[in-house]
Amino acid sequence: MRNVFKYLVDKGTEEANLVDKMIVSAFLSINKIKVSKNKLLRRLSILPKSKHYLDLLEFIAIIEAEVIDFNFEKLIEIFEFIISPSDRVVNGAVYTPVAIRTYIVEKAFASFDGNIERLRSADISCGCGGFLLSMTEKIRELTNISYYDIYRDIIFGIDIAEYSVNRSKILLSLNALCNGEDRELFEFNIYTGNSLIFDWRAESAVIAENNGFDIIVGNPPYVCSRNMDEQTREQVQQWEVAHSGHPDLYIPFFQIGLENLNANGILGYITVNTFIKSINGRALRNYFSNRGTNVMLLSFGGEQVFADRNTYTCICFLRNGPAEVNFLRTTSDKIDHIDLNNLQTFHYNELNHQDGWSLVNSQQLVDFINTVERTGTPFKDLYNTKNGIATLMNDVFKFKPIKTDEQFHYLEDAGMIFPIEIGVCKSIINANKVKVEEDLERLIEQIIFPYNEKTEIISKEQMKSDYPKAYTYLKTKKDLLSTRDKGKRKYEAWYAFGRRQSMDINKYKLFFPHICDRPRFVLCKDKDLLFYNGMAIVSNDLEELMVIKRIMESDLFFKYIKNTTKDYTSGYISMSRNYLKNFGVVQLDEQQKAVFLASDDPQFMLNEIYGIMDLV
């Protein structure tokens, strides 16, 4: 619907009521639906001879040229799209595909064995009403209850944005109308409010009487901590599950949902899966364990379910007991064929809430991971792993000289040539691009390094006197450098690096990428070489690095990291130290090291030493 969206953007989306009128009127016209009674829809109908009727006709023509079936899913997509980009960052609204909504609603409703007429179900971050629509249709499938009664008595919702609440009401009103129920007014239990502070039992006597909801479903807001305002951060911190790391907004919605269920209630979310491993999910993992929550978790790994978001998701069903985590890694196209009674079960005392849960699909993989982690010494106790230099403005400091003489490296920038004193430069390499040993020479660059041998910042006076050419060049970038950290951080000098990490490594390095499909490891014997991007194990013991290089190049290590790390799209995985730290490194004596380093089949030797011959 690219041209549909473009038309709305070009027309401007500031006036929500006018946009709603355009969309509703187009929907009614294209689907040949007549409104006789409903006051909300009549108020949103653009009639012939009205001010915006010609705009409406233009909009209808664009939709008809691009959309074969202007159905409710297309309507929801448009409603979600026209949320302003700034609001989308702050509120985290995301369109949930109908197949995902239907699956969650089907499974949640299957757990309810009471009278549907007395069911109380909700979406506590309802956006434009997709889950409310799915719940409504499920209730209609199971009963003959009128839409009026469903909206008045059974389904509830809340969203922080008033226009989203209005669009939810529009969506549900249109749905009733399309199914032959045209009433002047529907009574909705959809609130404009902030779920972080909203008290359902105080605001709704019906929910208080029911002691919470029977079903809560939804797609909690996708907002990272850095995009939250100060008030929201404070509100998030009021929740127990948000007491570790920098919690994203979706995390407290687990606790909010669970605490608004009644004793037999069930919660079904599609949400970010990072809480399984992340530091900011640590308090949540402990909360689930301490509460004895039954967690059913279908992880989509590196699949991106939402086309417009670089997020990695899972479907979670939560309820009271039995206290265990049931897990399956799958893909979204297979969920309808999953037997939820045949997932891999983990008891809380088997899981590491501090470092993250290692959840896999089979007991054989569980045994493999446990065996590896219990062998030898944990990686974190043996090796010093570093991230690369962080200037926060690499393109300013780093360069590939177009030529070099006895005094200067020559930097080309925006068509100008700047001589940079060799004495203020160091060699540096992009560790992410290093694939083979030959790359260590081919990929060498220079970086302006305004620090002395003790990594103390060189004063402005000394820079101007000893390295005037470099200082002159940096002056042309002063305004650009001032934008780092959104201009809020005070640096020791305006030309200082953004962070002090990895500036004083004077050791051998084993380079490997931070994110990759299968890691490659390259040993660097140049102790003075700096690096950016990627990672490195650093040590003064060259043989030590040669041994761990061979271990980490093995199929054993790859099988371990592939099943315990964070997934990214296209089969890529994370190699950050958080996922390396518990890998058990076998300790070899001097004779074993010599044999291991000379072996043509180190994998067989490792399998024997780790005792996993029957697990591979």
pLDDT for the residue numbered 91: 52
Q: Classify residue 600 by its DSSP letter.
A: S
The answer to whether the beta carbons of residues 392 and 580 sit under 8 Å apart is: no
Residue 70 burial (10 A CB sphere; 0-12, 13-18, 19+): buried
Q: Classify residue 51 by its DSSP letter.
A: T
pLDDT for the residue numbered 2: 79
Tens digit of pLDDT for each residue in 373-401? 999 999 999 999 999 999 999 999 999 99
The answer to whether the beta carbons of residues 311 and 282 sit under 8 Å apart is: no
Query: Strand order in 313-320's β-sheet?
Result: 190-192, 155-159, 121-123, 213-218, 261-272, 313-320, 293-299, 324-329, 344-347
Tens digit of pLDDT for each residue in 458-516? 999 999 999 999 999 999 999 999 999 888 888 999 999 999 999 989 999 999 999 99
Is pTM beyond 0.85? Reply is yes
The answer to whether the beta carbons of residues 268 and 105 sit under 8 Å apart is: yes
Distances (CA, A) of 601 to 451, 589, 596, 608: 46, 18, 9, 12
Q: Give the separation between CA 582 and CA 578, rounded to whole angstroms.
A: 8
Antiparallel, parallel or unpaired: β 522-524 and 508-512 = antiparallel
Q: Give the separation between CA 590 and CA 593, rounded to whole angstroms.
A: 5
Using pLDDT thresholds of 50, 70 and 90, give the confidence band for residue 17.
confident
Tens digit of pLDDT for each residue in 325-335? 999 999 999 99
In this structure, the number of other CB atoms found within 10 A of the CB of residue 599 comes to 13
Distances (CA, A) of 213 to 202, 205, 252, 537: 13, 12, 17, 51
CA dihedral 328, 334, 338, 340 (to 10 degrees): 50
Tens digit of pLDDT for each residue in 218-252? 999 988 888 899 999 999 999 999 999 999 999 99
Q: Classify residue 451 by its DSSP letter.
A: B
Q: Give the separation between CA 586 and CA 155, rounded to whole angstroms.
A: 57
Q: Give the separation between CA 222 and CA 204, rounded to whole angstroms.
A: 27
Q: Give the separation between CA 224 and CA 88, rounded to whole angstroms.
A: 12
Q: Give the separation between CA 314 and CA 325, rounded to whole angstroms.
A: 13
How far from chain centre, in Å, is Cα 338? 24
Mean pLDDT (whole number) for 592-604:
90
Collapsing DSSP states into helix, strand and coil, what is residue 284? helix
Q: Give the separation between CA 320 and CA 516, rounded to whole angstroms.
A: 39
pLDDT for the residue numbered 12: 63
